[in-house]
C-alpha cells in the first residue's frame, strides 16, 4: 500500500511486517509505503498496535518477520514518545532537555555553537516555554512536559517526525496549534510526519488518507471511509 | 584543630589522599546511582568485590584482580535492561547482595582465619591504606573520573531518556555498560581500601546531600564531590581526635553533612513559601 502525496518516493517501507510480544502477535503481516513529505496519522482504538508499529519503524522493536526500511541509520528522526519518559528526579533544566534533540549534530563532545543555542531558544519560544527554560522537568505541568517533548523533537529540524499521541496532555488551543504546525511542516517544508492519534477528531485538517490500525491489521484507508465507518458504529 | 589535622596529614598521607580520591569520584558516580534509582547497586557491588577478594585469597592471586573480575562480570549481568522484565533490577540486586555476602564468608570459612581476620581481609580500613593501596586507587580513580566528566553528555542522555537516546543514535547499551564498568572498577578498587560501608556512603550520602542543595547537574556533581571530601577530612579529624573507628566516623560525618543540607533545604523552602505568600498578598 502506498499513500498518495505529491512526492511518491517512499521514505519508509514496511514489507510483510509481523511484530510480537512473547507469543502474542500484535501486528500481522503489515505492508506499507510512506512517501517523503507525507502527513500520516495512524488511527485506531486503544491497544490496536499503533504505538508498536511506530516503535518498530523507529527501530526500538525488532519485527518477528518482515522488513522495515528507513533512512534512520543516517538521518535521525524527531521523536515524541507517548508518555513523559523523563524521570523528574533529574536535575536538568528544560533548556538542557530540549538541547538533547541536538545530539545528532553535537555528538558527545562538541559545544553548542550560538546558532544551535538560538535554535533551542526558538523551540522554547515556539511552544510558549521561553519563560520556563531554567525550570526542571518536575516543575512543569503535564501539558508543558508534552510541549517540552515536542520542542525537543522539533529543535533537531529532522526530515521525519514520529509522534505517539503528541497532544494527549494539551488543551484544545495548544492541540490546534501543534497540528497546524505539523501540517505546515509537511506541506511547506516537505517533512514527513507520522503520528499515532487516538481519535480522528484530534486531527483538525485530515489528509486524504490515514493509516488505519485495527486488531493488528494495518491498511491505508480513505479518510472519508474511516469517518463513515466511525459514524456507522464500527 | 589545625595541629591534629597536620598530624593526620603527616602520619596518614595515604589515607587522606586515598579518601579524597575515592570520595570525590564515587560521589560523582553516585549522582547517577541515585538518579537511576539503583541505590542498592553500591552495597551489592561492594559485597561482590569482597567475594572476589575472598576467592583471590584462596587462589593466591592479587585481591584486586579477584575483586575486579567478579565485579565486572556482575556488572555485565546488571547492565541488562531489567525495566522490561518481570523481575525489577532492585530484586536482582538484592539476590546478588545476599549471594555475595554469604559466598564471601563461605569461601574462606575453612581457610584457618578467624571471623574477625576474614572481615579485616575482605573489608578494608581507610586509615590503614598503604603506598601500594594509594597507587592502585590513583591508577583506577583518575581514569574513571576523567571518563565520567568526558562522557557526561551521552551518559546523562542514556539515563535521562533511554528510548529517545536510542532514536537519536546513542549506543545506549554501550554507554550503560561503560558507566557500570566504571562503577564496578571504582567499587572493587575502593572496597579493599575503604570498606563497603564507606564506599556505599560516598555513592549515596554525598550525592543525596548535593541533590538537596541544587537543581543543576554540574553543580550537583561539584557539591557531591565537596561533601564527600569534607566528610572524609572531618571524619578523619574526629576519628583521630576521639580515637574512633575511621570508616564509621567518616560515614557518620557524611550523614551530619546531609543533615545540614536537609536543614538548608527546609529553610529555603520555608523562605520561598513566606515570600510567595507575601507576594500574593
Nearest-CA distance A81 → chain B (Å): 8
Q: Is the pLDDT of residue B281 over 80?
A: no
Q: Min CA distance, B233 vs chain A (Å)?
A: 27
What are the boundaries of each domain within chain A? 1-77+159-234, 84-157
Q: What is the pLDDT of residue A234?
A: 47
Measured between CA atoms, how close is B31 to chain A, in angstroms?
10
Q: Does some domain include residue B78?
A: yes
Contacts with A77 from chain B: Cβ below 8 Å: 167
Contact B157 A87 (CB under 8 A): no
Query: Is B24 within the bounds of a domain?
Result: yes
Whether residue B162 is contained in a domain is answered as yes
pLDDT at B204 over 90: yes
Compute the distance between CA of residue B39 and CA of residue B31 in angstroms, rounded to an integer.
10
Count structural domains, chain B: 1
Is the pLDDT reported for residue A4 higher than 60? no
Q: Does residue B253 fall inside a structural domain?
A: no
Of the pLDDT bands very low, low, confident and very high (cuts 50, 70, 90), residue A203 is low
* Residue B267 lies inside a defined structural domain of this protein: no
Q: What nine digits make up the cell of B100?
A: 555475595
What is chain A's alpha carbon radius of gyration, rounded to the nearest angstrom? Answer: 18
Does A44 score more than 90 pLDDT? no
CB contact under 8 A, B160 and A90: yes
CB pairs under 8 A between A and B: 75
B222 within a domain of the structure (yes/no): no
How far is the CA of A181 from the CAs of A49, A154, A185, A205, B84, in angstroms? 26, 10, 6, 11, 34
User: Per the domain annotation, does B178 fall within a domain?
Assistant: yes
Mean residue pLDDT of chain A comes to 85
CB A92 within 8 A of CB A152: no
CATH architecture of A1-77+159-234: 3-Layer(aba) Sandwich (3.40)
Q: Does B178 touch chain A (CB under 8 A)?
A: no
Task: Mutate one of B28, B31, B33, B160 to test the A interface: name it (highest A CB count within 10 A).
Answer: B160
The pLDDT confidence band at residue A179, using thresholds 50, 70 and 90, is confident
Encode pLDDT of A101-141 as tens digits.
999 888 888 887 888 889 999 999 988 898 899 999 888 88
A103 to B35: CB separation less than 8 angstroms, yes or no: no
Q: What is the CATH number of the domain that holds B126?
A: 1.10.3470.10
**Within a domain: B220:** no
Amino acid at each position: 500500500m502506498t499513500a498518495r502525496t505529491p512526492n511518491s518516493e517512499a521514505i519508509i517501507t514496511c514489507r510483510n511486517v509481523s511484530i510480537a510480544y512473547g507469543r502474542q502477535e500484535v501486528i500481522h503481516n503489515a505492508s506499507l509505503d510512506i512517501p517523503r513529505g507525507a502527513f500520516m496519522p495512524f488511527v485506531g482504538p486503544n491497544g490496536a498496535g499503533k504505538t508498536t508499529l511506530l516503535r518498530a519503524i523507529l527501530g526500538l522493536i525488532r519485527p518477528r518477520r518482515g522488513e522495515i526500511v528507513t533512512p534512520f541509520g543516517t538521518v535521525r528522526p524527531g521523536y515524541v514518545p507517548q508518555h513523559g519518559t523523563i524521570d523528574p528526579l533529574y536535575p536538568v533544566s528544560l533548556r538542557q532537555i530540549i538541547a538533547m534533540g541536538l545530539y545528532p549534530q553535537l555528538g558527545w563532545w562538541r559545544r553548542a555553537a550560538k546558532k544551535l543555542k538560538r535554535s533551542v531558544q526558538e523551540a522554547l519560544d515556539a511552544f510558549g516555554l521561553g519563560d520556563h527554560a531554567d525550570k526542571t522537568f518536575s516543575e512543569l505541568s503535564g501539558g508543558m512536559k508534552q510541549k517540552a517533548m515536542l520542542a525537543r523533537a522539533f529543535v533537531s529540524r529532522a526530515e521525519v517526525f514520529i509522534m505517539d499521541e503528541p497532544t494527549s496532555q494539551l488543551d484544545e488551543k495548544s492541540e490546534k496549534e501543534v497540528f497546524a504546525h505539523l501540517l505546515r511542516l509537511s506541506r511547506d517544508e516537505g517533512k514527513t510526519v507520522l503520528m499515532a492519534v487516538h481519535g480522528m477528531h484530534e486531527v483538525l485538517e485530515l489528509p486524504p488518507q490515514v493509516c488505519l490500525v485495527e486488531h493488528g491489521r494495518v491498511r491505508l484507508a480513505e479518510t472519508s471511509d474511516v469517518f463513515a465507518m466511525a459514524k456507522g458504529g464500527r | 584543630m589545625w595541629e591534629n589535622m597536620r598530624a593526620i596529614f603527616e602520619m596518614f598521607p595515604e589515607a587522606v589522599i586515598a579518601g579524597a580520591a575515592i570520595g570525590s569520584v564515587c560521589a560523582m558516580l553516585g549522582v547517577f546511582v541515585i538518579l537511576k534509582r539503583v541505590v542498592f547497586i553500591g552495597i551489592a557491588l561492594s559485597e561482590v568485590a569482597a567475594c572476589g577478594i575472598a576467592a583471590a585469597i584462596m587462589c593466591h592471586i592479587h585481591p584486586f584482580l579477584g575483586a575486579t573480575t567478579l565485579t565486572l562480570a556482575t556488572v555485565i549481568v546488571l547492565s541488562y535492561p531489567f525495566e522490561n522484565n518481570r523481575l525489577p533490577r532492585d530484586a536482582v540486586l538484592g539476590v546478588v547482595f545476599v549471594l555475595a555476602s554469604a559466598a564471601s564468608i563461605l569461601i574462606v570459612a575453612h581457610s584457618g582465619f578467624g571471623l574477625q581476620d576474614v572481615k579485616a581481609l575482605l573489608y578494608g580500613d581507610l586509615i590503614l591504606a598503604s603506598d601500594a593501596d594509594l597507587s592502585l586507587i590513583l591508577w583506577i580513580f583518575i581514569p574513571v573520573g576523567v571518563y565520567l566528566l568526558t562522557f557526561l553528555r551521552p551518559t546523562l542522555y542514556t539515563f535521562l531518556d533511554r528510548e529517545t537516546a536510542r532514536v537519536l543514535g546513542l549506543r545506549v547499551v554501550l554507554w550503560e555498560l561503560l558507566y557500570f564498568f566504571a562503577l564496578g572498577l571504582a567499587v572493587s578498587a575502593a572496597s579493599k581500601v575503604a570498606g563497603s560501608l564507606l564506599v556505599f556512603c560516598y555513592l549515596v550520602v554525598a550525592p543525596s546531600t548535593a541533590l538537596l542543595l541544587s537543581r543543576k547537574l554540574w553543580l550537583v556533581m561539584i557539591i557531591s564531590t565537596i561533601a564527600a571530601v569534607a566528610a572524609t577530612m572531618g571524619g578523619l579529624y574526629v576519628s583521630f581526635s576521639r580515637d574512633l573507628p575511621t570508616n564509621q566516623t567518616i560515614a557518620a560525618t557524611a550523614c551530619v553533612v546531609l543533615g545540614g543540607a536537609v536543614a538548608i533545604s527546609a529553610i529555603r523552602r520555608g523562605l520561598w513559601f513566606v515570600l510567595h505568600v507575601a507576594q500574593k498578598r
